[in-house]
């Protein structure tokens, strides 16, 4: 039976996301949690791929250096958009909402779960800043390896997680002749009910 986004997609957007995400995890996809994060400050939009690390009905969590380009964007304009695209399923999910930092305890718990080299890399990298040569970065990595030898790298003050609380979640199911199926869930604020509507392709 052909997929019908009006009839076959759950009426709750988080349940709908859970269903599609579970399907993406089952296919041969290296990073089903890869998502494009778009931010904007000073009327200059920017986008990059980051990894979803957790999510629930509060929103979607990712981690980064707060002093990076995206961190500076989100400090100036705490609204952003996420985009998941699963090519093998010919589906995408677009999410827009408000962004806030998560608490340090949650950030520390995730940071401590990362591989040691990734934690050292967080200390070594001035993310998004100009790098004169790769050798300089390699030297910084070696510096922090020596500094943390015999101990565990602590969470840097400038590193942690963000929570995007969604105000709109749109589901896109690809079809022939570009007559794609689209269904949007939106709300004006975080404390009101979702409204659902179909959209032209």
- The single residue listed with the structure tokens 């990734």 is 118
- Compute CA 51 distance to the chain's CA centroid, rounded to the nearest angstrom: 5
Closest CA to 67 of 165, 156, 136: 156
Q: What share of the chain is helix, strand, coil (3-state, %, to 5)?
A: 30, 35, 35
Closest CA to 171 of 34, 17, 24: 17
Q: How many CA atoms lie within 13 A of 75 on its CB side?
A: 10
Q: What are phi and psi of 68, to 5 degrees?
A: -75, 175
- The single residue listed with the structure tokens 């510096």 is 143
Q: What are phi and psi of 59, to 5 degrees?
A: 155, -160
Q: Active-site residues: which are they?
A: 178
- Taken in order 128, 131, 137, 139, is the CA torsion positive or negative? negative
């Amino acid at each position: 039976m052909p997929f019908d986004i009006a009839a076959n997609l759950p009426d709750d957007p988080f349940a709908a996301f859970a269903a599609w995400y579970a399907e993406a995890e089952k296919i041969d996809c290296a990073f089903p949690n890869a998502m494009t994060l778009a931010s904007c400050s000073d009327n200059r939009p920017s986008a990059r791929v980051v990894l979803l690390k957790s999510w629930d009905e509060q929103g979607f969590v990712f981690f980064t250096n707060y002093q990076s380009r995206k961190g500076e964007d989100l400090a100036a304009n705490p609204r952003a958009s996420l985009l998941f695209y699963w090519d093998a399923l010919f589906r995408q999910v677009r999410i827009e909402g408000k962004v806030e930092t998560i608490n340090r305890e949650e950030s520390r718990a995730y940071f401590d779960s990362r591989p040691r080299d990734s934690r050292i890399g967080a200390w070594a990298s001035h993310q998004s800043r100009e790098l004169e040569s790769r050798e300089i970065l390699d030297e910084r990595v070696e510096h922090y390896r020596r500094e943390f030898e015999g101990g565990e790298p602590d969470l840097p003050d400038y590193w942690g997680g963000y929570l995007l609380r969604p105000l709109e979640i749109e589901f896109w199911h690809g079809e022939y002749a570009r007559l794609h199926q689209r269904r949007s869930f939106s709300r004006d604020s975080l404390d009101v009910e979702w409204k659902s509507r179909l959209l032209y392709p």
